[in-house]
Amino acid sequence: MQLLDGKKVSQAVKLELKGQVAALIDSNKRAPHLAAILVGSNGASETYVASKIKNCEEIGFKSSLFRFSENVEENELLETIKKLNVDESIDGILVQLPLPKHIKESSVINLINPNKDVDGFHPVSTGKMTLGLPSFIPATPYGIMLMLEHYNIETSGKNAVVIGRSNIVGRPMSILLSQDREYGNCTVTVCHSRTKNLKEKCLEADIVIAALGKPGFLTADMVKENAVVIDVGITRVADQTKKTGFSIKGDVDFENVASKCSFITPVPGGVGLMTIAALLKNTYEAYLTHLK
């Protein structure tokens, strides 16, 4: 069994970006600039946004955080996005999800300038990605693709099971893996909450992507020998032995599954770090198109 080390791979991605930013600054160009919008004070969202901003700083990107209270009016958010859309100093706009219930997520996401849609959630990005055209790819599936590439994992002709069909993880992941592309060409089965016989489907999979948000869901009896297992899940589980009062658990019963796998991602230290690296890559790509 080999660990797919998100720390190592994301560091390599960030080091490359850092060098590219340094070269830009040397030639008197401005640094790429990410704008992050955070609504409310959800602990996990706070942590994710803080980490994205810290990572921007580490590699020399500029970042701006726009914070709003939990009861902000939708219109105020939309006005902020309109301003950021036309602000030439901003390359990428990310809106940390989930948003409070009174705000329609699609109204906010769909207003983002597709050229600045570094999270890849805008329908234009989704459409282009689905057609195999150059586009921003949602950061988590993109990060997983970077990981598969780094470890040169054979995917062509393999059976892949993606558990979860969300627009930000499961769905785009299933599309990418099925496409005629490097690290694609899988035969993909998308499983979800209504799927029957999920265990049998998983047992046929050479590659399993677990993205459902249920800690320890994928157990050893559901995984075939030498499978590649990618754990996307991030759930906070109460843990009094930790200072924070919680620990982070993935969707895979890592302890029992790992020994059966050829490759597996740990949680933490796997897909989460790759997601941030992919977001930074998208922001750099956005910057390059704005320079033209």
Residues assigned a catalytic role: 52, 96, 119
Is the Cβ–Cβ distance between 31 and 24 less than 8 Å?
yes
Distance in Å, CB of 278 to ligand NAD, minimum? 9
**189 binds ligand NAD, rule: CB under 6 A:** no
- Contacts to ligand NAD from residues 135-154, by CB under 6 A: 140
Q: Measure the CA–CA gap between 219 and 3, rounded to whole angstroms.
A: 17
Assess 212 for contact with ligand NAD (CB under 6 A).
yes
What pairs with residue 229 in β-bridges? 208, 264
Q: Does 219 sit near ligand NAD (CB under 6 A)? A: no
Cβ 119 vs Cβ 138: under 8 Å: yes
Q: Which residues pair with 36 in a beta bridge?
A: 65, 94
168 contributes a contact to ligand NAD by CB under 6 A: yes
Contact stretch for ligand NAD (CB under 6 A) within 52-60, 88-96, 125-133, 268-276: 268-276
With the CA atoms of 147, 153, 157 and 160 taken in that order, what torsion angle do they form, in degrees rounded to the nearest 10?
-50
Minimum CB distance to ligand NAD, residue 286 (Å): 19
The answer to whether 281 and 142 have CB atoms below 8 angstroms apart is yes
Nearer to ligand NAD, 266 or 272 (CB): 272
Closer by beta carbon to ligand NAD, 24 or else 118 = 118
Ramachandran sector of residue 183 (left: φ over 0; alpha: ψ -120 to 50; beta: rest): left
Sign, CA torsion 17/20/26/30: negative
Q: Does 100 bind ligand NAD (CB under 6 A)?
A: no
Q: Which is nearer to ligand NAD, 24 or 227 (CB)?
A: 227
Which residue, 98 or 123, has its beta carbon nearer to ligand NAD?
A: 98
Q: How far is the CB of 26 from ligand NAD (least distance, A)?
A: 32
Q: Cα(121)–Cα(81) distance, rounded to whole angstroms?
A: 14
> Residue 5, Cα to own-chain centre: how many angstroms?
15
221-227 contacts at long range (C-beta below 8 A, 24 or more positions apart): 222/198, 223/257, 223/260, 223/261, 224/260, 225/260, 226/260, 226/261, 226/262, 227/260, 227/261, 227/262
Structure tokens belonging to residue 133: 């055209």
Q: Is 234 in the site for ligand NAD (CB under 6 A)?
A: yes
User: Of the ranges 14-22, 80-88, 173-181, 188-196, which one interacts with ligand NAD (CB under 6 A)?
Assistant: 188-196
Does residue 211 touch ligand NAD according to CB under 6 A?
A: yes
Q: Tell me the closest approach of the beta carbon of residue 111 to ligand NAD, in angstroms.
A: 21
Closer residue to ligand NAD in complex, CB, 113/235: 235
When the beta carbons of 55 and 80 are compared against ligand NAD, the nearer one is 55
Using CB under 6 A, which of the segments 14-22, 55-63, 147-155, 167-175 binds ligand NAD? 167-175
Interface residue list for ligand NAD (CB under 6 A): 140, 163-166, 168-170, 191-193, 195, 198, 211-214, 232-235, 271-272, 275
